[in-house]
Structure 1
Amino acid sequence: MHATVLNLAIFIFLVVKAPLVWGFSFSENSRSERLQNYLNIARQEKLWTDPQWLALGHYEKKYFSYTSPFTEGLFLDADGAKSPEKELLKTIELLYGENDQKLQCHYLARAQWLNQILRIDSQDILPCEERQAWKKQLNVQGVSLIFAASDMGNASSSFGHTFLKLINPENAANKDLIDYGINYAADADPREGALYPIKGLFGLYTARFTLLPYHQKIREYINLEGRDIWEYNFNFTAEETDFLVNHLIEMENARAPYYFFSDNCSYQILKTLEVVRPDLKLSQEFQYFTIPIDTVKKLTRVPSPLFVSRKYKKSLKTDYLESFAKLGVLQKKALDIAVTKLSIPDDYELAPLEKAQVYETAMKYYSLQAFTTNKDFDNEKYQLFLKRAAMGMVAGADYVSKPEPPEDSHDSSALYFGVGQSDFKSKNITYTSLKFRHALHDLEQQDFGTVAFSQNEMAAIEARYLNTDGDAKDFHIYKFTVLDLINLNPVTQLDKNFSWKFRGDIVNNMETFTDDKFSADIEASGGYSFDLALFERTRVAYLMTARHWKTSINSVGPELLLVSRLKRDLGFSLDLTYFGQRNSTDFLRARSKLNYTFRKNFDVQLAVENGINKEFESQLQLVWNFIL
C-alpha cells in the first residue's frame, strides 16, 4: 500500500516538474503540432492559388508565374513578391508559430482570412486590442471612390486622379470633410522640371498608400487646383468594409515603383478593391495604360452594380468661370468696378438680374483668390454680400448648372476610319486611312469629363493606302504622334491665364510614292484665350507659334485658333497660322475640323488643311471611341 502511494507521488512529481528540467512542455508541443497542421492544409489545398490570397499580395499573372510590384514593406518571405506559395507558408509560420505572434496585429486581413479558411484554433489568435481600439475610433462604415477631374497643368494628373474615402456615419451631411482619404501616389516632386514626367514614365519614383484627412485632399483639388470632384459610394457590406480597412493597415509600409500611365493611382485602387471582391478582376483589363476616368467607367459598367449613390462637388474655379461666362460685355466692365470699388455705379444701366449676377461673380472671384493667394478677402466678400442682399430675391440669379458625370463621356482610345484627297507633287490623289489613338480626347469632341477646350492626344499612329497608278508603293505609315496637347485656359478680366499647345510628331515626308522619308515635326505655342458669347460655348486663342519640320525648316509666327460648341453634339475649330520661315517661303496655314457625335462613342469628323506648296487636303473620318 505504501509502495503504491509512493510510486504515484513520484509519477505526479515527474509529470509536473520534468518540463522545467528537460526544457519542453505539452502546450508548446501542441502549438507546434497545430502549426504543422495549418501548413499541411495549406499545401494540400494549394491555398496560394486562391484568388483571395493573390489579391492580398496584389499579385499579377505574368505568363507562367505571379509577381507583385511591391518590392518592400509587404512580404515576409525574401521571395514573397515572386512566389505566392513561399509567402503564404512563411505567413502561416510567422503568424501562428512559436515566434512572436504580434505580426497578426499588422497583417490583419491576412490573419482574418487565414483564421477562417484554416479554422485557426482560438488559442493561436491574438485579440489585437490596440488595433481594434484605433479602428473603433476611426469608425469606418462605408467606402467611396473619389474621382478628381483632369488637370492639364500637371503631367501626372492630365488624365484625372482616383482615391478612396473612408466614411464615418457620424460625419454625415456637411461634416464629411473630417473623414479620411486613402491615396496611392508617388513620392515625387513636381519641381524637378523635365525630370518629373521622365522619371514617372520609367518607374523611377516610389509609391505608397497614405491615410490623409479628406478635407486636405478637397482643399488641394477643389480650392487650389480648380478640379471638380465626383464621389461614388460603394455598396460594400460591413464585413467587406472592415476587411478593406484591415488590408489598408497591412499596406501602410508597402512600396512599389510608380508608372504614370500603367501602374499608377487608379491601377492600385482597382487592385485594392479586388481584395474585397476578388471576382471583379478589373485590373486585368488594363495592361498598358490605366487612365483614371476609364477605371471609373469600368466600375460603373460591371453587371452587378457597385455604387449606391453619386455626388458632385464643384471647384471654386469652375463655379467662378461658369458665372463669368454668363456675363455680357457691359456686365464684365461692371465686374471690374465691383471688384475694385466693391460696388456698381448707378450709371451702369443693368437690369436687377444682370446686377445680381455681377455681384455673385465678384464674390466667387474673391473666394477663389483667397485660396490661390492665401490672403484674407473676408471683408471684400462681406461688402459685396451686403450689396447683393440689399437687392433681395432676383428671379434667375440662383441658376445652377447640371454637369454630366464623367462616366458618360466618350471612351479614351479611338480608331479612325477615313477617306481623303490630297495634292502630291502636282497630282491629285485619293487615299483611305486608318488611325489608332491610345488616349484621350480631340479638341472638337464633347469635352465633359475632361478639361474644357482642351486636346490630349497621346501615342497615335496613322497609316494610309494611296490610290495611285503604276507600280507605286501604295501602303505607307503616314504619321506617329507622341503628344498633341492643347490647353486653352481662358483669360477673364480679373486674371490672366496662360494658354498653350505642344505637338510632337514623326511624319512621313516621302519625296516619291516609293520612298518613305520620316522626320520630326515639332510645334509649340503660347498665348492667351478668351470666351466669346457665340453659340453654346466659344473660345478664341491668340498665340505665337514656333515649328520645326521637314528636317531643316524652322518657322515662327502668329496663330489664331477659334473653337466652338455649335451645339451639344457639334464641335468646330478654325486654325490660322502665318509662318515666317527662315529658309523657305512664308505661308499661311489654314485648317479646320468639324466633329459631330451621332451616338455615344461614335463621331464623324470632316477636316481640311492647306500645305506649304499650295497643297490642299481634305479628309472624312468615322471615329469609334473605346476603352483598350
Structure 2
Amino acid sequence: MLKPLLSIAYLSFVAFLPVNASASPIDSQKAAIVEQLGNHPQWLKLLHFQRGESLIESDAFFFALEGRVNPKAELLATLEEFENDANRTNQELAQCRFPARYLWLKKQLGSQFSTPKVHCEKLEGWQEENQLDSISLIFVTGYMGNPASFFGHLLMKLNKKGQYYSSKTPLLDSSVNFGANTGQRDNPIKYVTYGLLGGYSASFSQEDYYRYEFGYAEGEQRELWEYELNLTEDELKLLESHLWELQGKEFRYYFLDGNCATYMASFVSIVLEEPLLKNVQPWDMPLDIFKALPNKQHNNLPLVKSIDKRESKYSRIKDKYLALTGREQEAAKSLTIDKVLFANNSYAQLSSYEKSRVLNVMFDYYELTIVDGSEDEANLAKSRKIKLMQERLKLPALDLEWEMSKSAPPHLAQNPMKIGLSTGYNSELGGFGQLNFRAAYYDYLYLETSRFNDSNATFFDGNVRFSNQDIWLDKFDVFNVSTLNIRQVDLFEDSQFAWSTRFTIEQKDLSCNDCERARWFGALGKATKLKGVISFYAMPGVNVDLSNYKDSELNITFGALYTASEYWKTHLKLMPASSLGADSEQKLLIDWESRFGNEMDWDVRLNVKHNKSSEVSMSYARYF
C-alpha cells in the first residue's frame, strides 16, 4: 500500500514542480512532457483506456504500479525506462518491449526525445517475417452450428509486400485473431454464461492466415469478406509495433461489449481520428464495424482501399453445379452414385467441353467430402478423385466459363437493430397499434446479404400493443433461432436437419391481452428448395408452457418461404397443435407475413394471423 502512495506523491510533486535553479532540468523536462502528453487521446488509445482505466489486465503491460489507472504515471515511468535502456541487457530493453510507445513519443517530441540507441533482434526478426504492406479486416459470416458464431466473426490480416504477396495467394499472409481463452471441453451453456458475465480472459493471437481461411471457408463453409484499409506507412508501423506490445497480454472477454468487434475496432482506431464503433447501443457486433468502414474518410481518402470475397468451397460447388445444364447435372450425379465411374451413358454422351465442366465440379465435390466426410467417405473420395484426374488428362486443355452468383458485401446488408410501428385489427379485441423493438439480428424475411440463407436469428424482440382502453405486452422473444439447412446441390445426401428454438413471454393466444405465458418452443424437421426461390419445410415440435404445464403442446409446423423478387418476400406458416392436458384441445395456427422493399434501413410488412382469434396488421420499420 505504501509504494503506490509514494509513487503518486512523487508524480504529483514532479508534475507541479516549478522550474527554478534548484530543479533538475531533466525532471522539469519530464514533468512538462507528462503534463503535455499524459492525457493525449492517442496515448490513451495505446494504453486502451476506457472509463478511467486500461482494459488490459496483465501487469507486464505497465511500468508504473498505478499505470493501469493513471496514464500520466505510466508515461513518466515509460520515459524513465527508455532512459535506463543503456544499463540493460537485450532481454530487458524497454524500447524492445514497447516499440509503439517509442515511435509515438519520437513523433510527438521530435528532437526533444533523446534515448539510447538500441538493437531489438527479436522484434526486428518478427517485423522481417511480417513484411507488412497493408492491413485488412476480414468479416466471417455467421455460423449456425455454434451460438457464439451467430453474429459472425472479425479477423485482421497482415498483407505482405510485393515479392512475398500475390492477390491469388493471400494464404502466405498472417492473421490476427481476438478471442476468449476458453477450455477445450467448455460446452455452449458455459461459454454463453461465462461470456455474458466476464468469466473468460481474452487475448490477441497471430497465426498463418491459411489456418483460419481453411477452418472457416472449407471446414464451416462460411464466406469471408476482406476490406483492405488505406493507411500510411507510419500508421502501419505504429499498429504493427503495438501488436508486438499486445502479445500475451490479457483482456476481459464479454460476449456483448468486449468481443472481437470491440477490441479490433479499438486496435485500428489507434490511428484514426474517430472511433469505428459508436457507443449508441450496449453491444458490439462485427457487422457494425463493416457498416462503418466504407463511410470513413482518412487522410482525405476513403478508409477502405478495396473489397474482396473468399467463397466457401460449398458456395463454389453450388454456383458451378447450378450453372450446369440439365444433362451435365445428370452426369455429375452419376459420378457420385455409380460404383464404376464413367460407366453411365449420361457422361459418355457429353462433349469434351461438357465433360470438363462436370469433372471440374466433381473435383470440388470430392475435395469437400475429404474434409467433411467420415474416414471411410474421405478414403473413397480420395480414390475417386484420382480416377477423375486420370479421366481429365484424356481431355484437351479448355478454358471453362462459369456464371457465378453475385452477392453483396456485408456493409450493404440490412441493419441489425429494428424499431417498427404497426396498425392492425383483431377480430376479438378490435383495432390496435403496436410498437416493436428488436435488438438483433435478422429474420426469415430480411435481405439475404452476408448471412446464413433461409434462417432466422432474432434476440430481444418485443411488441407492445395499445388501444383506446389499454396497453399490453404482446410478446417478448429472448431468442428465436431457426434454420432450414437447405442444400441446393443434390449431389449431396441431404442429411441435414431443419431446426428451430425459441424462448418467449407472450399472450396465450390472439383472443386475450392479459394471459401472458412463458414458453419454450423446439422443433426438428426437414426442408427443401424448388427452383432456387421457394423453400418448403416441415418441423414436428413441442411448446413447453412454463406458466401452466397442462397447456403445453405437441405441434408440427408446415412452412413455405418464397422470394418473388428483391422487393417482395413472403413466409407462410401453418401449425396444427394439440395440447397435452386432459381436454387435449386441438387448434390450427396460421401466420402469413410479407416484406416489401429492398432497402437496408427500412421495409413495409403485411401480416395475417389466426390463433383462436384472427388479425391483420400493416407495419413500417426502420433498421439501425
User: Helix, strand or coil for the counterpart of 1:384?
Assistant: helix
Alignment of 1:123-162 (within 5 A): 123-162=115-154
Alpha-carbon contact 1:35-1:97 (below 8 Å) kept: no
Match of 2:207 in 1: 212
Q: CA deviation at 1:396?
A: 8.6
Choose from 393, 399, 403 the match for 1:399. 403
Match of 1:454 in 2: 455
Choose from 71, 84, 105 the match for 2:71. 84
Alpha-carbon contact 1:463-1:477 (below 8 Å) kept: yes
Match of 2:500 in 1: 501
Q: CA deviation at 1:594?
A: 0.8
Alpha-carbon contact 2:277-2:288 (below 8 Å) kept: no
Structure-2 change in CA distance of 1:554 and 1:445 (3 Å):
same
**2:40 is aligned with 1:50:** yes
Alignment of 1:50-129 (within 5 A): 50-60=40-50, 62=51, 66-72=52-58, 73-97=60-84, 100=88, 102-118=93-109, 119=111, 121-129=113-121
Alignment of 1:476-555 (within 5 A): 476-491=472-487, 492=490, 494-495=492-493, 496-509=495-508, 516-533=514-531, 537-549=533-545, 551-552=548-549, 553-555=551-553
Alpha-carbon contact 1:148-1:162 (below 8 Å) kept: yes
> Structure 1: 5+ residue runs without aligned partners?
1-31
Aligned partner letter, 1:282: L
Alignment of 1:577-588 (within 5 A): 577-583=575-581, 584-588=584-588
Aligned partner letter, 2:54: S
Alpha-carbon contact 1:230-1:310 (below 8 Å) kept: yes
Alpha-carbon contact 1:579-1:586 (below 8 Å) kept: yes
**2:238 is aligned with 1:243:** yes
In structure 2, C-alpha distance between the alignment counterparts of 1:525 and 1:350, rounded to whole Å: 45
In structure 2, C-alpha distance between the alignment counterparts of 1:502 and 1:245, rounded to whole Å: 43
User: Helix, strand or coil for the counterpart of 2:80?
Assistant: helix
Alpha-carbon contact 1:537-1:564 (below 8 Å) kept: yes
Choose from 181, 185, 190 the match for 2:179. 185
Q: CA deviation at 1:454?
A: 1.0
Alpha-carbon contact 1:548-1:554 (below 8 Å) kept: yes
Q: CA deviation at 1:188?
A: 1.9
User: Helix, strand or coil for the counterpart of 1:368?
Assistant: helix
In structure 2, C-alpha distance between the alignment counterparts of 1:354 and 1:538, rounded to whole Å: 29
In structure 1, C-alpha distance between the alignment counterparts of 2:509 and 2:558, rounded to whole Å: 29
**2:285 is aligned with 1:291:** yes
Structure-2 change in CA distance of 1:508 and 1:84 (3 Å):
farther
Percent identical across equivalent pairs?
23
| Bigger Cα displacement from structure 2, 536-545 vs 287-296 | 536-545
Match of 1:172 in 2: 165
Alignment of 1:271-310 (within 5 A): 271-277=266-272, 279-285=273-279, 287-304=281-298, 305-310=302-307
Aligned partner letter, 1:321: K
Match of 1:441 in 2: 442
Alpha-carbon contact 1:262-1:287 (below 8 Å) kept: no
In structure 2, C-alpha distance between the alignment counterparts of 1:616 and 1:454, rounded to whole Å: 26
Larger of the two Rg values belongs to structure: 1
| Bigger Cα displacement from structure 2, 575-584 vs 289-298 | 575-584
In structure 1, C-alpha distance between the alignment counterparts of 2:355 and 2:500, rounded to whole Å: 36
Q: CA deviation at 1:159?
A: 0.9
Choose from 247, 253, 262 the match for 1:258. 253
Q: CA deviation at 1:493?
A: 5.0
Structure-2 change in CA distance of 1:383 and 1:537 (3 Å):
farther
In structure 1, C-alpha distance between the alignment counterparts of 2:297 and 2:291, rounded to whole Å: 12
User: Helix, strand or coil for the counterpart of 2:30?
Assistant: helix
User: Helix, strand or coil for the counterpart of 2:597?
Assistant: strand
Alpha-carbon contact 1:510-1:516 (below 8 Å) kept: no
Q: How many residues align?
A: 576
Alpha-carbon contact 2:327-2:346 (below 8 Å) kept: no
Aligned partner letter, 2:477: T
In structure 1, C-alpha distance between the alignment counterparts of 2:455 and 2:400, rounded to whole Å: 30
Match of 1:600 in 2: 600
Match of 2:345 in 1: 346
Q: CA deviation at 1:458?
A: 0.7
In structure 1, C-alpha distance between the alignment counterparts of 2:556 and 2:491, rounded to whole Å: 23
Alignment deviations for residues 408-440 of structure 1 (CA, whole Å, 9 cap, x no partner): 1111111111111223xxx34111111011111
Alignment of 1:285-434 (within 5 A): 285=279, 287-304=281-298, 305-325=302-322, 334-341=331-338, 342-343=341-342, 345-346=344-345, 359-373=359-373, 375=378, 377-384=381-388, 398-423=402-427, 427-434=428-435
Q: CA deviation at 1:343?
A: 3.0
Structure-2 change in CA distance of 1:198 and 1:44 (3 Å):
closer
Structure-2 change in CA distance of 1:544 and 1:209 (3 Å):
same
In structure 2, C-alpha distance between the alignment counterparts of 1:511 and 1:366, rounded to whole Å: 51
Structure-2 change in CA distance of 1:462 and 1:177 (3 Å):
same
